[in-house]
Each structure stands twice: as C-alpha cells, then as structure tokens.
Amino acid sequence: MADSVIKNVEKDRDGDLTYVGVSGQWKWTVAQVASSIESRTNTFYVMCPQRADVVVRSTAGGRKFLKTTADTTTKNNLDNLPPF
C-alpha cells in the first residue's frame, strides 16, 4: 500500500474538489482517490501543519467526497491547499 501526500487541489465553480495531487507529479480525480482508499490500495494525507489522513465520506444522496481526519482545526484541510 502506498502512502501519498496531497499538496494541491482543483475545485469546480461551486468550490467542490474535483482533483487532488502534487503539482507537476500526479493528479487524480476525487473518484480515483476515493476508490483507491476504499479498496485499501493507497492511503493519502495532508500536512497542515501536522499529518491529517484523508478519508472518504458520502452525502445523503450518495455522492462520495474526501475530507481529512480530525486534527487541531475543525476545517477540512483539503480546502486550504493551494491549486495546481
């Protein structure tokens, strides 16, 4: 299982994450990352400022999205990452 840091994000016009990755290295869709986490193929994390693991959650309508585990902030650390 690979353990990968996420440093950059891309959002749609509504502010929803569409892609995550590391600029110039790799860029995956949210669906690809969610599938990889759920199949236990890869794990992902952010450093903001300490490690927070990325997990998959679903809306009431069943749409999957990514968020980070609890750390020193109540915000989703993915939302604070810079764009690609």
The reply to whether omega before 49 is within 30° of 0 (cis) is yes
How far apart, in whole angstroms, are the C-alpha atoms of residue 10 and residue 17? Answer: 6
| Interval 30-78: pLDDT, tens | 999 999 999 999 999 999 778 999 999 999 999 999 999 876 666 778 9
- Give the pTM: 0.89
**3-state secondary structure (DSSP) of residue 68:** strand
Angle at 50 between CA 58 and CA 31, to 5 degrees: 25
| Interval 28-39: pLDDT, tens | 999 999 999 999
